[in-house]
Amino acid sequence: MRPLLAASALLLFVVTRAALAAPPPPVRLAPAEADSLTRAVLADRAETEKWLKGAATSYLATVQREDFGERTTLTLGRDSHNDVRLDDPEWQAHHVQVTVRGDSFQVKALDPHAFFTVKGDSVRNAIVGPSSIGVGRFTVRLSHQRYPAIIVFDPKSPRFAEYKGMKWFPVNFKYRFIAPLTANPKPDTTIIMSTRGNARRAVRVGWFSLKLGGRSVRLEAHRLLEPGVGENDMSLFFQDATTAHESYSVGRYLEPVKLADGRYLLDFNNCYSPACAYSPHYNCPIPSRANHLGVPIRAGEMDSHYSH
């Protein structure tokens, strides 16, 4: 057999064998380990609720979003002619100008007494990646995602008055798995649609095969091709039989955790609703059709109905 054909045959054999391997069962935990992990999950949930209730960058702190669209520059200030206007004494009439520079942003103060903060330092001109700057008490997020936007957070946001806690399914370790990734032999670029109608590019990294509710399921793993996303990052965007009933209508997300032996931890007790479940000012990936599961995953975050 010619070397190229032999290599192709071997690759096909490896991929087919991996695809046919029995999905792994949930991880078996000793009672003490289960108790320890349960306490950790509950502590993390309490911290998340505390963050949502009053943090300066809570989803409920968002007060305004402006997409760049076809523009490369937006201005922020008190004057009505700004693209992002806040009638607040902590903002100058023409406070800053933000320009998209490739995968980054150039931020310039405009009025003589205007400045902004980057990592706590007061400056008047800076090149920053997708991140946040401070303008007075406000946090201004410079979001890229190949569809740049500005999101303004106010620690005095009136939406904090809407706080009503968060809801989760009870911790259940039958939804905790250690599984290998069946790598995509030809990682292809695909499109993940988002809640603001944007077509976001992503790499289909591979698949995880699991046994859920007595059924074998396969989940696509994606890495978004966007500034700020690492080469080894991947996410599972999925819907299941609880979607739009017990959990958020768009779906939920989970980040696999790579282990030392090359396999991944997938604990659905840690799956969460996207930011869009709490605020209209975000742009969230919509799970692909392949990740619409017909089984319920009663683990992780439920819908607390902040989004109407």
C-alpha span between 176 and 280 (Å, rounded): 31
- Listed range (10-14, 39-43, 194-198) with the worst mean pLDDT: 10-14
Q: Judge whether residue 192 has pLDDT over 70.
A: yes
Average of per-residue pLDDT values in the chain: 93
Q: Which amino acid is at 158?
A: P
CB 167 within 8 A of CB 69: no
The phi, psi pair for 120, rounded to 5°, reads: 90, -10
pLDDT at 275 (0 to 100): 98
What is the sign, positive or negative, of the torsion defined by CA atoms of 244, 245, 248, 251?
negative
pLDDT at 15 (0 to 100): 43
Q: What is the pTM of this model?
A: 0.89
Q: Judge whether residue 128 has pLDDT over 50.
A: yes
CB 16 within 8 A of CB 145: no
Burial (CB count <10 Å: 0-12, 13-18, 19+), residue 303: buried
Terminal-to-terminal C-alpha distance of the chain: 62
CB 12 within 8 A of CB 4: no
Read off the tokens for 284. Answer: 């969230």
Burial (CB count <10 Å: 0-12, 13-18, 19+), residue 297: buried
- Residue 304: which residues within 8 A CB-CB, separation 6 or more? 164, 165, 166, 167, 277, 278
Bridge partners of residue 67, in order along the sequence: 149
pLDDT at 21 (0 to 100): 66
Q: Judge whether residue 10 has pLDDT over 80.
A: no
Among 3, 4, 11, 6, residue whose Cα is nearest residue 182? 11
User: What would the DSSP string read from start to end of 99-162?
Assistant: EEETTEEEEEE-STT--EEETTEEESEEEE-SEEEEETTEEEEEE-TTS-EEEEE-TT-GGGGG
Q: Judge whether residue 6 has pLDDT over 80.
A: no
How does pLDDT run across 43-98, given as a tens digit for each residue? 999 999 999 999 999 999 999 999 999 999 999 999 999 999 999 999 999 999 99
Among 205, 278, 268, residue whose Cα is nearest residue 240? 268
The pLDDT of 208-219, averaged and rounded, is 93
Burial (CB count <10 Å: 0-12, 13-18, 19+), residue 186: exposed
CB 277 within 8 A of CB 304: yes
Q: What is the C-alpha R_g of the chain?
A: 22
pLDDT at 308 (0 to 100): 66
